[in-house]
Structure 1
Amino acid sequence: MPPADAAPLLASDLPYPLACRILHFTPHSRMKRHASPWAELNFAVSGIMEIGIGGMTYLSPPQYAIWIPPHVEHCCQNEGEVHYACIDIPAAACAGLPDKPCTLEISPVMRAILADFERRGISYPDTPEDRRMAQIVIDQARQARAYASYLPSATDPVLAPILSALQRRPGDKRGAAHWAATAGITERTLLRHCQQRLGMSFNEWRQRLRVVSALGMLDDGKPVQTVARALGYSTPSAFIAMFQRLTGESPDSARRRGPGGACAAMPRENRVVQASDATRGR
């Protein structure tokens, strides 16, 4: 349970074919800035991890991992409780993986293998069978869809005011046509800006914003029905379906983890995730 400003817990040997570290962070933990000679794939088993890289904060809720190439300085922090996995991958095995920090989708196959490693206490896969499983994890990471961050922002003068307005009111139900009109552009132009600058559609970005907002409210103990209404959903079932599709768990599961266990990143201006345009290249 690393305390605030703890020293990083690194693999003690060359992580071949990879090293799997399952860590538990208590609320208000900090990990000092550091760099590793190998790459790191970090993802939350529960809670939300925040990793600072080059002046940007990368957000990793369940089902999304933060990819950090070798020799890239980073630090970790979390306001709530976080249980997460850190996969160390040798630099020689990074061919085909992104050369810049980004967020990767985590496949069910990868999650199942790493859950099995955790259950059996496998830190360094050393049997032929476990090494084959480790190689599948690396292959799955190569195939994963990449984003600059889970909830990318943009400095684009067209998009920035719209994103800021939605972050202040994540339950606003007005559609892309309304927001395009406020910027004096067509809806098609707005949608094109979203794909080019955010790497995703306007609706997908809005749903991710609602997930982040929901996690903050659930963390505060608000009932699911209250959260659904606050985020503009006419029925709790519609909200629950969206939340489960994007996070892999129900809102009730997140809420039952209690204060500090559901989310560390609420949609406040000083907590907004900053990111450059979405990274899709390999």
Structure 2
Amino acid sequence: MVQHKPYYQPATTLHGFFFHDEQICANTEYLPHRHPWGQLIVVKSGVLALNIARQRFLAPPTAAVWLPADMEHSCYNRRQASARTINFADRYCAELPREPCLIIIGSVFNAIADDFFARGLDTPRGKSDVRLCHVLLDQLRQAPRQKNYLPMSHDKLLLPILQALEQNPADNTRLAQWARRVYSTERTLARRCQKALGMTFGEWRQRLRFLHAVSLLEQGMSVQRVALEVGYSSSSALNVLFQHMAEKSPEGYRPRAFSAGVRAKKQDSDGHPRLSVAE
């Protein structure tokens, strides 16, 4: 059953900055709305699915989606996720992107944000916090940007292919085979992918598999099984994908308690190592 959730509104925005930690249950929907402040949505776990100005944005963990002020958006998540929002009064947004995009935030930004959320702040407390908020702004202005993590296209040749892969990320059909199915050529499809998606067909499929794998890992599924679910024959292939996409292993996305349990199984009562089914 779909749950409708109202968006967060702060009690005060005296300094022009406020923060909110959002826990999103499975099958939660935020209906279309807009607000007069710019918003950076930083995904902490799960994959966030947003619709912004008729564009779809899928954001994996550590990704940050920039949402300009007064831009209509909505959100529907099939699975559980958590995110932080860092919000800026419109007067601070002049030098920030005027269109929604992904922003690659760095270690300085993350360290300041982690401190704010660790202290349970919803607004700055004192001049030093306000100064740190302006450092966040400077970091955002300089940060690399991407139009979208997993773009879609309504191209008549690409759309059925992309939709089929979303339904089954494990599908290993090659581009040449897809071309025959849609009565086109491999070269034509490759050219259209680059033009409409801004990347190759192979990279788009890798990103799709990464997003799908993250969701499965966070549900506690074993790395080997996740590899099979997204179309790889071994866990080592999935590890290569994660090193390329996130510079960390798939195990890092599994629930901590579950991972700790798996490690505990590797020793018997005498402290000797033993094999675990999850391996």
Is residue 43–residue 61 contact of structure 1 (8 Å, CA) maintained in 2? Answer: no
Q: 1:257 to 1:29 in 2, by over 3 A?
A: farther
Gaps of 5+ in 1: 260-282
Deviations 1:85-127 (A, max 9, x none): 1111121222232222233333333222211211123332344
1:213 aligned residue:
212
Is residue 20–residue 86 contact of structure 1 (8 Å, CA) maintained in 2? Answer: yes
1:166 aligned residue:
165
Greater relative CO (CA pairs within 8 A, separation 6+) = 1
In the alignment, the residues of structure 2 paired with residue 224 and residue 176 of structure 1 have an alpha-carbon distance, to the nearest angstrom, of 27
TM-score by structure 1 length?
0.75
1:53 aligned residue:
52
Show the 5 A alignment for 1:1-282: 4-14=3-13, 16-180=15-179, 184-187=184-187, 189-219=188-218, 221-247=220-246, 250-256=249-255
The alignment of Structure 1 onto Structure 2 pairs a total of residues equal to 256
Q: 1:143 to 1:177 in 2, by over 3 A?
A: farther
Is residue 46–residue 218 contact of structure 2 (8 Å, CA) maintained in 1? Answer: no
Q: Please tell me the residue identity of whatever aligns with 2:137.
A: I
Q: Which one is further off, 167-176 or 40-49?
A: 167-176
Identical amino acids, percent of aligned pairs = 35
Is residue 19–residue 122 contact of structure 2 (8 Å, CA) maintained in 1? Answer: yes
In the alignment, the residues of structure 1 paired with residue 30 and residue 251 of structure 2 have an alpha-carbon distance, to the nearest angstrom, of 30
Q: 1:178 to 1:95 in 2, by over 3 A?
A: farther
In the alignment, the residues of structure 2 paired with residue 186 and residue 76 of structure 1 have an alpha-carbon distance, to the nearest angstrom, of 35
Is residue 223–residue 235 contact of structure 2 (8 Å, CA) maintained in 1? Answer: yes
Deviations 1:14-36 (A, max 9, x none): 36352222222333333344321
Gaps of 5+ in 2: 259-279
- For the aligned residue pairs, the C-alpha RMSD in angstroms reads 3.1
Q: 1:199 to 1:139 in 2, by over 3 A?
A: farther
Cα shift at 1:202: 2.5
Cα shift at 1:79: 3.3
Is residue 15–residue 89 contact of structure 1 (8 Å, CA) maintained in 2? Answer: no
Q: Which has the larger radius of gyration?
A: 2
In the alignment, the residues of structure 2 paired with residue 248 and residue 86 of structure 1 have an alpha-carbon distance, to the nearest angstrom, of 24
